[in-house]
Amino acid sequence: MSECIVIGGGVIGMMTARALHLSGMKVLLLERGSLGGESSWAGGGIISPLYPWRYLESVNRLAQHSKTLYPDLVAQLNDESNLDCELIQSGLLFVGDSEKEQALSWAEQWSENIQPVDGRKSILSIEPVLNDGVDRALWMPDVMQVRNPKIIKALKASFDRLGIAYREHVSVQDIVVQSGRVTGVRVADEVIGADRVIVAGGAWSAGLIDAVQHVDVEPVKGQMIMFKGEPDLIKRIVLSEGHYIIPRRDGRVLAGSTLEKTGFDKTTSEEALQALRETASELVPALGLLPIERQWAGLRPGTENGVPYVCAIDEVEGLYLHTGHYRNGIVLGPASVQLMVELVLNKETFCDASPYKVAATH
Ligand SMILES: Cc1cc2nc3c(=O)[nH]c(=O)nc-3n(C[C@H](O)[C@H](O)[C@H](O)COP(=O)(O)OP(=O)(O)OC[C@H]3O[C@@H](n4cnc5c(N)ncnc54)[C@H](O)[C@@H]3O)c2cc1C
């Protein structure tokens, strides 16, 4: 019997399980496939919403708090796993300045550093390989990235090191509820008992919890490609009209991503590959000469306005929902985990928890 079962081994479930374990709770994490094998692996690892000023205050609240938590979290994970998660302050260059007013007023509200950049020379001093046509931009020098597949590896190593219980290739079929309180979960031919259950099943969460509570979480497919280049070809994350380029330390460059509502289908298409390659090569012509090493797709846990569910389910004692981080699970993760853990432990929360409840702003 566990004190708490976490369903889903993406970054959200894994970080939640680790934090609860560190608080002294006996936790068991159940993952249908391999740890981190879904959206959390497929993502880009940018530690900022793409256009933060377009998001609600509740998303920014978590994002801003996460940014302060990341350096320590990554240092601990690096320590526990002996792996470098590649937390890098590469900065983010927004091509064009049509949203300058909104961006600057957001920056003032959140004490962020956004610098309008005007003229070719100034742009090149930030990112020398951008195409000739770019002469206006917004520059956020403090934006970090993390190599998300490495975060997953490090979290898994941390589980092993700290003795956090987990089972892979175990699919939860039902949440067991008796007399209005959760008593465990059903998997294949066994029921595993627990006092508390946290649903962190990413894009699959709605199906897991539907018998108890309807929630709006739907899969939104994102396709991505990866170029194989030399280190330092590109230094900055570059974003133009929703498309981005993320340079990794070893020279690999990610270009993403599509937004497709096609159910639970994770297939990739030649059309998306060509479109992503074309947009990336327009921004940085040198990319057009590089081979594409890989293409993949992941299913984001989409919510209408990007506000995640971080809450107790009122109808069932001991049942919690932690999902719907949509395009921002990596950046929102640490803060959202802190909030979840505070709710589970019945502690004062670091921020107002009401926007993250079912039927709040969703
Ligand atoms: C192309 C792309 C780019 C992205 N870029 C970024 C970015 O730059 N920055 C950022 O912050 N975010 C980014 N994201 C979003 C981010 O990856 C997600 O928000 C985040 O990974 C969600 O994590 P999760 O743990 O909720 O979901 P997942 O990683 O999908 O994990 C959910 C897990 O639950 C398991 N599960 C489901 N049902 C069951 C069941 N019945 N029993 C047991 N286990 C079950 C699944 O197998 C899965 O492993 C991106 C996403 C994509 C696809």
Q: What tens digit of pLDDT does each residue of 35-71 get?
A: 999 999 999 999 999 999 999 999 999 999 999 999 9
Position in ligand 1 atom list of the atom nearest CA 173: 41
Domain boundaries along the sequence of the chain: 2-83+148-217+304-356, 92-144+219-302
Distance between Cα 1 and ligand 1 center (Å): 27
Q: Helix (H, G, I), strand (E, B), or coil: what is residue 120? A: helix
**Topology of domain 92-144+219-302, CATH:** D-Amino Acid Oxidase; Chain A, domain 2 (3.30.9)
Residues in contact with ligand 1 (CB, 6 Å cut-off):
7-13, 30-33, 37-40, 42-46, 171-172, 200-204, 208, 222, 224, 256-257, 298, 300-301, 323, 325-331
Backbone φ/ψ region at 241: left (φ over 0), alpha (ψ -120 to 50), beta: left
**Topology of domain 2-83+148-217+304-356, CATH:** FAD/NAD(P)-binding domain (3.50.50)
Q: What tens digit of pLDDT does each residue of 324-340 get?
A: 999 999 999 999 999 99
Average pLDDT, the chain: 96
The residue whose CA has the least distance to atom 35 of ligand 1 is: 8
Position in ligand 1 atom list of the atom nearest CA 223: 1
Question: Do the domains 2-83+148-217+304-356 and 92-144+219-302 sit in the same CATH topology, yes or no?
Answer: no
Position in ligand 1 atom list of the atom nearest CA 171: 42
Q: What tens digit of pLDDT does each residue of 159-211 get?
A: 999 999 999 999 999 999 999 999 999 999 899 999 999 999 999 999 999 98
Cβ contact 36:10 at 8 Å: yes
Q: Give the whole-number percent of the chain exceeding pLDDT 90.
A: 96
Position in ligand 1 atom list of the atom nearest CA 246: 8
- In angstroms, rounded to a whole number, what is the distance separating the alpha carbons of residues 319 and 311? 9
CA neighbours closer than 13 Å in the CB half-sphere of residue 269: 11
Distance between Cα 145 and ligand 1 center (Å): 17
Q: What tens digit of pLDDT does each residue of 88-115 get?
A: 999 999 999 999 999 999 999 999 999 9
- Kindly tell me the sign of the dihedral angle through the C-alpha atoms of 66, 67, 71, 74: positive
Model pLDDT, residue 211: 86
| Angle of CA points 142, 284, 120, to nearest 5° | 70
Q: What tens digit of pLDDT does each residue of 272-289 get?
A: 999 999 999 999 999 999
Judge whether residue 360 has pLDDT over 70.
no
The residue whose CA has the least distance to atom 1 of ligand 1 is: 222
CA nearest neighbour of 244 among 51, 41, 10, 39: 51
Model pLDDT, residue 361: 53
As a whole number, mean pLDDT of residues 287-303 equals 97
Q: Looking at the whole model, is its pTM more than 0.85? A: yes
Judge whether residue 2 has pLDDT over 90.
no
